[in-house]
A and B are shown apart, each in its own frame.
Chain A
Amino acid sequence: MNPMQIKIDEARARGKMGLIPFLPAGFPDRERFWKELEQLDAAGAAVIEIGMPFSDPVADGPVVERASLKCLDDGVNLAWIFEGLKARKGRFRAALLLMGYLNPVYQYGLDTFAADCEAGGVSGLIVADMPYEESGFVKDALKPHGVSLVPLVGLNTTRERMALYADGAEGFCYFVSVLGTTGQRDALPARIKEKLAEAREVFDIPIALGFGIRRPEQVAPFAGLMDAAVFGSALIGHIEAGGTSAEFMAPWE
């Protein structure tokens, strides 16, 4: 079983929600980034999602975009990310997941990327700009290295398309809570409930809800329908305002 699923299942077994914090690699700066990861790990993250910065992040809102562009300016690239991960391999209790856009991965070389994921202890990948139809060659490259492509579905994904994603999926299913980009929202759409229930039926792996999530109260109404919560923009905003990852995680544990 993929480590991402193992960790989320472990949290569920303790009666907790699986926690999936997201930070762009190199945020808030190249040194502190690794310290924040350690804090997130110590605070009980099931999966830590590391953003691979890209110049043109169409699925992201302004908070993640700004943070990612700053990391690019600081010289963050995949080589730097993998170097840091390899140096810390085995030090994280949480499963590690890389998230980003296809082009940087494509230029790095898919086979090299997959091998470096394995060498750096990464067990999953999310590609925000790659629907099912285009994903075959990426899955083929990841598979020999035990890295899973995490499916992203949303409010407008039909049951038929969910089934395409569910076939052979590992780790967890990332359910996008809004028709929109990443970023905090005060309220989540009411129809999440029925679509989450549908995802529950179609997928036999854990379901994580993401986009717009800040506080535990927001996801309370969906408690039985989801296994994990992803938060990125709110965490980034908290750190930008001078806070630490440990403080942010406290209300969630």
Chain B
Amino acid sequence: MKKGYFGDFGGQFIPELLMPPLIELEEAMRTILPSEAFRTRFDQMLRENVGRPSIITHCPHLSRDLGLDLWLKREDLNHSGAHKINNTLGQGLLAKMMGKQVLLAETGAGMHGVATAVAAAMLDMKCVVYMGATDVVRQAPNVGRMRLMGAEVIPVESGTRTLKDAINAALRRWIADQENTHYCFGTAAGPHPFPTLVREFQQVISKEARQQFLDRNGRLPDVVVACVGGGSNAIGMFHHFVPDQSVRIVGVEAAGTGEPGCHNSAPLNLGSDGVLHGMLTKLLQTKDGQILPSHSVAAGLDYPGVGPEHAHLQAIGRVDYTTINDAQALNAFQVLSRREGIIPALESSHAVAYAIEHKDELQGKSVLICLSGRGDKDLGILDQIL
């Protein structure tokens, strides 16, 4: 297999000017990541700053309502409210030990930006976040959080003014400032080695969840579910279950409104092979290879591409990727809040909705869902649905 590929997907499709920092990063992964100094400090940060291990929670009422055995892996309980911090602290510490002074990030909904700002503050580094101008307006509270923690938030006015354009802007900035800056990529996508690096920091989710479920139930779950945007919580949730052939693994993409031809965020289900942001993967695109705008009610899933390892897991048939639309996700958002007292992020609501919408085929089965983030950030949507 070619370096940096997952089957046919992945690679390093970036300008030559970005190869030196990617090679430097790969070298740091080889030398710094396994070091005692890194492991000791990182484990300590995960325990004392993030609050790991995160718990698994049984959902007694929803289990009864749906006729299945429903469990949640609670990444929403991490400091800053989502799985994103597993990655930003890992990359932040790595960058610090590489001698970098600046963490550069892109953000869509703002969750990765916030988690990067947390990491930068914790590690006494400078933080620069690029965010689409449209997202800056619709995710104002997260912009406030980032700025409060000392991050410089730069609105991106080009293109569709959303996440994909923020990534373009961050890549451009990295070309210019590579000497003292680490690009803290937010999801398990982009050019090699990012898909592998981000998975390395997110695999803790399934490492913990698999053991926790075994300890509690004496067996593995029948089905494991996670939502997929770029795919970092999903790859983290899937990684240690992939070798367990008895476990069915389901990734849930966002179908947008669900109407035929609508803008969506489901490249694995509705896209085709193509190259964007450094990787060969599944993309939403025109027949001319221009990237299409994406849409989801969950801003964190709103991306026209997906991490290359997911494209591979789909191609080899190990993971089933399906879709949930905006209305189904909003329903799950309310149902989980009402029945279990847990307000999920709209992104994670897509994964919860899978269990609700597919309850007939899941009768009697144990289902473990990655609750990747909490829903406080989404309360603005209440005006539209209540």
Instruction: Give the interface of A toward B (CB within 8 A).
Output: 54-59, 61-62, 65-66, 69, 72, 77-78, 101-108, 128-134, 152-154, 156-158, 161, 165, 176, 178-181
In the complex, are the beta carbons of B175 and A103 less than 8 A apart? no
Contact A106 B274 (CB under 8 A): yes
B172 at the interface (CB under 8 A from A): yes
Q: Are B16 and A157 in contact (CB under 8 A)?
A: yes
A102 touches B287 (CB 8 A): no
The bracket for how many chain B residues form the interface is 20 to 34
- A57–B17 Cα distance when bound, in Å, is 14
| A221 CB to nearest B CB, Å | 22
In the bound complex, do residue B275 and residue A103 qualify as a contact, i.e. CB atoms below 8 Å apart?
yes
Instruction: Judge if B278 is at the interface, Cβ distance under 8 Å.
Output: yes
| Chain B interface mostly | mixed
Q: Report whether B276 and A180 are in contact in the complex, using a CB–CB cutoff of 8 Å.
A: no
B11 within 8 Å of A (CB atoms): yes
Task: Show 11 residue pairs from A and B whose CB-CB distance is below 8 angstroms, ordered by the A residue.
Answer: A56-B164, A59-B175, A78-B288, A103-B283, A103-B291, A107-B285, A107-B287, A108-B289, A152-B15, A154-B16, A180-B176
Q: Which residues of A contact B11 (CB under 8 A)?
A: 133-134
Within 8 A of A (CB), among B257-305: 274-278, 283, 285, 287-291
| B171-209 Cβ-contact flags toward A at 8 Å (1 or 0) | 110011010000000000000000000000000000000
**Chain A residues positioned under 8 Å from B12 (CB to CB):** 131, 133-134
CA–CA, A97 and B172, complex, Å: 24
Q: Which residues of B contact A134 (CB under 8 A)?
A: 11-13
Contact of A69 among B159, B283, B287 (CB under 8 A): B159
Residues of A within 8 A of B14 (CB): 58, 129, 131
Query: Does B19 lie at the interface of the complex (its beta carbon under 8 Å from any beta carbon of A)?
Result: yes
Q: How far is the CB of B182 from chain A (nearest CB, A)?
A: 16
Q: Which residues of chain B come closer than 8 Å to A178, judged between CB atoms?
A: 176
Choose among A62, A107, A128 the residue with the greatest number of B CB atoms under 10 Å from its CB. Answer: A107
Contact A106 B16 (CB under 8 A): no
**Least CB separation from A77: chain B residue:** B288
Please give, as numbers and ranges, the residues of chain A lying within 8 Å of B290 by CB-CB distance. 54-55, 72, 103-104
CA distance A58 to B106 in the complex (A): 14
The CA-CA distance from A61 to B275 in the complex, in Å, is 20
B178 A156 Cβ-Cβ under 8 A = yes
Assess the A128–B15 pair: CB atoms within 8 A: yes
Q: Do B176 and A179 touch (CB < 8 A)?
A: yes
